[in-house]
Structure 1
Amino acid sequence: MTLLTINQLTVSYDSPRGPLQAVRNINLTVNKGEVLGLVGESGSRKSTLVSAMLTLLPPNARASGELRYRGVDLLTLPKEGRRKLRGNGTATVSQDPFTALNPVVTIGKQLIAFQHHKGGTRAEKRLRARHILERVGIFDPAGRLTQYSHELSGGIRQRIAIAAALLTEPELLITDESTTALNATTEMQVLEILKATQKLVDGAIIFVTHDLYLVSALCDKVAVMYAGEVVEVRGQ
C-alpha cells in the first residue's frame, strides 16, 4: 500500500528579486513497510523537501504539484487537517534534539504532552512513556522522566527524541540527519536504536542523511538529491 505519493512537487520562496526555486519536479513514492533513504550533500534541499512532506513550509514558500498522503493532497488540505495529520499520521526526529526538547520542562511532562491525542489518564501516559524509553534502550527510564534535557548526554537526548516520535504511533516516521551531531561511538549506538525502530513503526520510515553507511545499513530504497532535484532512485 502506498502511503506517500509525490508528483511534480516544486517549492519556491518569495524574495525581493522574485520567486526562488528550492526544489523542482520531485517524483517519489513511499510504501508501507518501506525504508527510504533520502541522500544528498549539504545544500541539496533535503530539508526543504522534508518540510513540505510535514506541511511545515514557512509562510513565504509556495508549493505546486501533488503531495498525497493516503490519497489526500496535503497541499490543498486545510490547516487544521494538516495539524491533525502531524499528530496522528506523521512524526519526525530532528537533527538536534537539544533544540527540539523544552529545556524548562521535565522529560516526563514532555512525553506526556506528546500523547495529547491519546486517551487515558496522566498516570497511564506516564507509564507508556516509561515503556517506550525502555524500548529505545534507555537505562533507568523512570529516573530520566524526572530530568531536564540539559542534564542528559547527546545520545540520550537523541534516544528520547526517537521515543517521543514513536509515542505518536506514526505511519510515516521521518528522521532528519538524526546522527549528524553525535560522536562516532554514540552514532553507532543510535544507529542500533534506529534499526530497532523499524520494527516499532507500522508504516514507513524516511531517513534523511548524507551518510552512505547509514543508508546501506538501514534502507531498502534510496533517492538521491542534487541541487533541489531527485536525480536518481534505486531499489524500486
Structure 2
Amino acid sequence: MTATDHHDNIGRCDISQLCLLAGKIILQNGGETYRVEDTMVRIAAACGISQSQSFVTPTGIIFAIEGTAHTTRLMRISQRSTNLLKVTLVNDISRQMSRGEVTPEEAYSLLQRIDSGASGYSYPNWLKVVTAAIASGCFLIMFQGAWSDFWPVVASGGIGYLFFVTLHRVVPITFFAELLTAVLIGLLSVLSVHIGFGTDLDKIIISSVMPLVPGLHLTNAVRDLMAGHLVSGLSKGAEAFLTAFAIGAGIAAVLSFY
C-alpha cells in the first residue's frame, strides 16, 4: 500500500501539519530555504496533494494547499541552530514517502521523534565543546601556525565555546553572546602570550574564534540568492554579518587595551 492510498486516512489539515513539521526541522537546523520548500512539496505530493504552495523565510513558514478552504498554515521560527544530521534524516523520510515506503502517519511519528531530540539526534554540549577545541587547534595548523601554540589555542577555543553555550542559555540574543565570547577569547589569547604559554597572538586569536565564524550562514545565504530566494538570502547574509561584526568587535575591544 502506497502513501497515496493512505490519503483518505489523513486529513488535509494533518498533511499541512506534517509538511510544516518537516520544514520546521530543516529550517531550525541549518537547512537552506529552497530545501525546505522542496521537501514540503515532495511530502504533500506523496500524500496525494498535487497543488501546494510554500513560502519560507528564516523566521517563518507559510504553507497552503490549493483548492480547499482553511488550509493555509503559518509557523513561526524563533530558534535556529546547526544540526545537519536532522536535515539529512528529514530528507530521507521525504524520499521514503515519495517511494511509498512510509505512510504519512509513520512519517509524522518519525518527525516528532527527530524534533524532540529525545532519541539521540542532538549532540551533547560537552561533545560540542571538545569538538570546538580540537577544531581550533586544527585551524591553527591549517593557518601554518607553530605547534607550540596548539595547546593554547585548544584551551582558549574550548573555554570560549563552553562560555558561549552556557551564556546563550541565559542571554538568548546571539549577538551579545558572541560578542562577550569574543572578548573572553581575546583575553585568554593575550594572557597565554603574556605568560609565555603561547607565542603568535594573531594566529592564536584567529584559530580560537573559528568555531564561532558563521560559515554555514554565509554558504546558505549565497545558495539562497543563487536559487532566487532574495528575502531569505539577504536576511541570512545580514545575520552572518552581525555575527562577524560581534566577533570582530569583541577582539578589537581587547586588542585596543593590549
Q: Which has the higher helix share?
A: 2
* Bigger Rg over Cα: 2
Taking structure 2 as the reference length, what is the TM-score of the superposition?
0.25
Structure of greater relative contact order (alpha carbons < 8 Å, 6+ residues apart): 1
Taking structure 1 as the reference length, what is the TM-score of the superposition?
0.26
Q: Which has the higher strand share?
A: 1
